Structure 1
Amino acid sequence: MISASPLLTGLAMALLCLAFATILLPLNRLPLVGRMLVIVSITLLVMLPVSDYPGWYYVRSVFGDSSVTALVFYIALILQQHFSWQLYQENELVLLRRLVLTTALLLYPFALGVTHYDSYSQGYANPWLLGGLLMLTLFCWLVKYYLLAITITAAVTAYSLQLLESLNLWDYLIDPAFLLIMILTWLRPSVQKIQPRQ
């Protein structure tokens, strides 16, 4: 994720693995202590070396770098599902999912050469894209979708500071693993709801 810091890259990959575990495993059946143990265990497995390389190296080789948008959502997902923090609403997750799916449909097929138009190239210093994101952020704030507003702001801020290896704004907003996570949240409706404390 951040070329200058293997630790931050490792933590990003740990968040990705924890997001997958949160959605795919029935962790909400465990008591809080059990969930904490699973979270710590997965994090350690990702961070510790395996055959001369840290575990996150292998995760990154499969999924690539995580976008800033994805990382903020993963944190919110983990905190809401395991620690009962109310960080996003069901409608907010639905909107986020639709935005990610629409963006993926408009971005990935064209970037793979389906047509001569390359929508991915619009992520390089495009004032129209930044303006559209500003309007979307203001809309989210007005309808009290605060997590979405903060997420978009974080992605654009990280892009402005060039915190990732990529110079393309799209890479701060979306990535293939995040798309997969969004599809999985649609297949697992229980993820939309806050989990009760145990």
Structure 2
Amino acid sequence: MNEVWQILCVVLLLAAAGAFLSGFAGLRKYRWVGMILILLIAIIPFAETSIWLWMRGLIGGLSILSFVLLTGYLGLHVTGKEVLDRKTRSALYATAFTGGLLLYPATLGLSLYDPYRLGFGIILAIVVLGLSVLLWFAKRQLAAVVLVVVVLADQAQLMTSINTWDYLIDPLVWIIAPFMLLRLRLQA
């Protein structure tokens, strides 16, 4: 299952990159063309490897949160319809950014406390479920459901990791989150 998850993550990331780059190339109406071109270029061998394999080695698998946000991005740019509304995206990006602020500085040794170990037990899963309840009552039902899916995927061990943090956030979504939050705020 992990192999399938990694392949899905790379395909999704490359397709999103193709859709994004198509917007700059003046192909906004035909973003699917850019997606297909990027995917085709990615499988061409280059220096005994390919972009596909390089990306797969670089990112491994994305978090469930990244996967959902990228799927929403592609849904919007391929169909023109919002799969994830602005409030849902805002809640998910805020969750990713806050989680990263709690996790990543400590992994760099900036704290004596290691929050990553919380993800090995049930504690972080309970915190994420609690956050999903808060989001539900704050009328962010889709964001709440996504967080429940994160915990379910963790409990089912969809990926090779047995740590809830890896299902919740990854460096890619954490780096992108503040920019997307700012963009969503400016568009409001």
Q: Aligning the two structures, in what range does the TM-score lie when normalised by the shorter sequence?
A: 0.7 to 0.9
CA contact (8 A) 2:18 2:34 kept: no
1:52-108 CA-to-partner distances (Å, cap 9, x unmatched) read 545332113334431111111110111023312222222222222222111111101
Mapped pair 1:141 → 2:136 = yes
Hey, what's the Cα distance between the residues in 2 that align with 1:15 and 1:165? 19
Distance of 2:180 and 2:19 partners within structure 1: 10
RCO higher in structure (CA 8 A, sep ≥6): 1
Which residue does the alignment assign to 1:88? 84
Residues 68 and 50 of structure 1, relative CA distance in 2, 3 Å threshold = farther
Q: What is aligned with 2:107?
A: 111
**Over the residues paired in the alignment, what is the CA RMSD in angstroms?**
2.9
Choose which of 150, 154, 177 in structure 1 pairs with 2:145. Answer: 150
**Equivalent residue number for residue 176 of structure 1:** 171
Q: How has the CA–CA distance of structure 1 residues 162 and 24 changed in structure 2, closer, same or farther, with 3 Å as cutoff?
A: same
Corresponding residue for residue 12 of structure 2: 15
Q: Is the 8 A contact 2:63 2:168 kept in 1?
A: yes
1:159 to 129, 146, 154: 154
Change (3 A) 1:97 1:42: same
Task: After the TM superposition, list the runs of 4 or more consecutive aligned residues in structure 1 that deviate by more than 6 angstroms.
Answer: 190-193
TM-score, with normalisation over the residues of structure 2?
Answer: 0.82
| Greater Cα shift, 170-179 or 153-162 | 153-162
- Count of residue correspondences: 188
Structure 1 segment 19-30 matched on structure 2, within 5 A: 19-23=16-20, 26=23, 30=27
Q: How does 1:58-137 map to 2 (within 5 A)?
A: 58-126=54-122, 128-137=123-132
SS of residue in 1 equivalent to 2:8: helix
Provide closer, same or farther for how the CA distance between residues 138 and 113 of structure 1 changes in structure 2, counting only shifts above 3 A.
same
| 1:24-78 deviation digits (Å, cap 9, x = unpaired) | 662695354x211111222233345444545332113334431111111110111
